[in-house]
Each structure stands twice: as C-alpha cells, then as structure tokens.
Amino acid sequence: MSVALALAFWLVATVAMGLANTAGFHRLLTHRSYDTSRGIRYLLTLLSAMHSGSPIQWVGLHRKHHSFSDTDLDAHSTLKGFWFAHCGWLFFGIRHPLPCMFLAVSGFGLQILFLIYDIQRLLGRLKPSWRGTARDLMKERFMVLLDTPLVIPALFALQLWAAWSIGQWWGILWLWALHVVQNNASWVVNSFCHLPSVGSHVEGVGDLSRDVPWLGWLTNGDSFHSHHHQYPSSACHALEGGMDMSWVFICALHRLGLASNVKLPPGVTLPAWASRDGWQVEGKVSR
C-alpha cells in the first residue's frame, strides 16, 4: 500500500471513528438527541467502541458527569487537576502529569486499561456500576455484548491483526496514530472544556463547562461544551455558529431520510439544504 493511500485510509478512518463517538456514543446513545435506524445505530456504536470501549460504560459515566458536573462525584472533574480530568481518572485516578502524558501519547494504553478492567470484573474486583445510569441500553443485546468482559480487547486484537495484514509495521503505526488522535479528541472535552481560563461560559449554566471554538475541528463540535450543558439533549452544540461536524452529519442523515426526532432548542432550525418536506424543528428541548 502506498503512503498516499495509507494516509487517505487513515484520514477516512479517523473521521469515521471520531463522528461515531461524538454523533453516536454522545448525541445518539447518551442524550438521545435524534433517532436513526438500528443498522446505523449499531454501526456508529461499533466504530466508536473500537477506541472508546463499552457503550454502556461510556454512556453511564457521561450521564453521571452531567448529573454531578464539577463536583467530587464527577468522575473526571478538573477540580482534581487538568491531567486528572484529561485521562488520569481512567489511569487509576492518577493526578501526576508524567504518567498521564504517557497515557495520552501511548495510543494503545487505553486498550490495555480496558483489558485490566475486564480482568478485574472477571475476578469480582470491579463492579459495573455504570449500568445503573444506562438501563435503556441494557435492553439491547448488542450493547450488552459490547459490555461483556474481554469483548472490547478482542475487537482491539482484530484491529491489530487487520493493521498488520494491510501494512505490517506501517499499519500498526497508522493504527497507533489513529488511537492517539481519537483518545485525546475525546478527553480534551473533559479537560480543556472545563478550564475557567479558556473559552467562554454560557450565563446561567451551573458548572465550569466552556465553549472552546478552536477545538471544534478536533472534537467534531463537542468543544461547544457550555452550550451543550445548557441544552444537553440538543443535536446541535454550536448554537451560536462554529464548526460542528457532528451536527452536519446528523443533518445529512436527516436529508437522506435516515434521522428523525431531531431535538433542538427553541429558535434553532435545520439548515435549508438538509430539510425534507418542510421540516423545521421536530423536537424542542428545554433548558
């Protein structure tokens, strides 16, 4: 495989997996900002699970974040430090910058942690408490399967095999780079987007969440985090403009007839290019 083709494949995979996380795990599964077909729902879930792990765990922890944002009950509160919020909370609650930096650039470190978590679950040392806040997903066999111990590590093993088969060590390198980008693109919302020193804060939102527009490209729009905390169920996060690729993706799904019941705050409507049959606002969300 040529370097140009490998790079193109990497870019496509990065965009696809990134949108699967932001438009899939986040806006579809966690906040139910829109509805789509079972096939698309499961495809987005599988793509995101390949780097973010169990959908039930991800959704359960994120819903808890919204319930207890920036308190001691928030799993990744910046009150315990930037690096703790970025990835130390995943790394056994470590707050020291050096091990957290190592995890951030390790790429595959998160997958190793998933394996450790699963071994702890099999030994009865870790209880899946996240299931309590994701009971709706517990009704779906596919979601439960992906939350079963050793399934996520098996998916990662398949990724390694595919990368090696395609490009040997170059394939492993591209896969490592993909995981580095996707991990940090997700974690930066927990860290940078809760720092009082960056971005802007929506008046009346009772936490430290921030809108950080310059991170919009990396986070597919999830960095408009204060507006997200203002209207958690909104399918659009960049409510005052800005790059929100997840919203563009959801609009495209709607234009193709593949998304419905799209939730938006009052006064926000679908772009003209994406409207079908005069659709304006299907489901408003309250503050």
Q: Which of 10-19, 54-63, 94-103 has the lowest mean pLDDT?
A: 10-19
Domain count, the chain: 1
Considering only CA atoms, which of 156, 123, 122 is closest in space to residue 54? 156
Helix 109-122, helix 151-191: angle, nearest 10: 120
Whether 184 maps to a domain, the answer reads yes
- What is the reported pLDDT for 273? 82
* Closest alpha carbon to 30 in 18, 14, 43, 41: 41
| Confidence grade of residue 276 (pLDDT, cut at 50, 70, 90) | low
Task: Give the C-alpha separation, 133 to 62, whole Å.
Answer: 9
Q: Is residue 96 part of a domain?
A: yes
Q: Which of 137-146, 212-221, 277-286 shows the lowest mean pLDDT across its residues?
A: 277-286
DSSP state of 36: E
> 159 near 171, Cβ under 8 Å?
no
* Residue 167 within a domain: yes
Which DSSP symbol is given to 158?
H
pLDDT of 195: 94
The answer to whether residues 225 and 211 touch, using CB atoms and an 8 Å cutoff, is: yes
Q: What is the pLDDT of residues 222-240, one digit of tens each?
A: 999 999 999 999 999 999 9
Q: Identify the band that residue 9 occupies on the pLDDT scale cut at 50, 70 and 90.
A: confident
Tell me if residue 112 falls in helix, strand or coil: helix
Decide if 50 is inside a domain.
yes
In a domain, 109, yes or no: yes
Percentage of the chain exceeding pLDDT 70: 94
- Distance, CA of 144 to CA of 166 (rounded, Å): 31
Residue 175 maps to a domain = yes
| Among 261, 103, 105, residue whose Cα is nearest residue 181 | 105
Going by the DSSP 8-state scheme, the letter that residue 73 receives in this structure is T
Q: pLDDT at residue 215 above 50?
A: yes
8 Å CB contact between 98 and 90: no
CA distance linking residue 268 with residue 66, whole number of Å: 22
Say if CB 39 and CB 205 are below 8 A apart. Answer: no
Q: Is residue 216 in some structural domain?
A: no
Contact between 138 and 131 under an 8 Å Cβ cutoff? The reply is yes
At residue 71, the pLDDT reads: 92
Q: Is 9 inside a domain boundary? A: yes
Q: Write the single-letter amino acid at 51.
A: H
Cβ count within 10 A of residue 153: 18
Q: What is the predicted pLDDT for the residue at 285?
A: 54
60 beta partners: none
Whether the pLDDT of residue 132 is over 50: the answer is: yes
Distance (Å, whole) CA 250 – CA 256: 10
C-alpha R_g of the chain: 19
Per-residue pLDDT of 228-274, as tens digits, reads: 999 999 999 999 999 999 999 999 999 999 999 999 998 888 887 87
CA distance 55 to 143: 6
Rounded Cα–Cα distance for residues 183 and 227 (Å) = 22
Structure tokens at 278: 């005069």
Q: Which domain holds residue 29?
A: 3-207
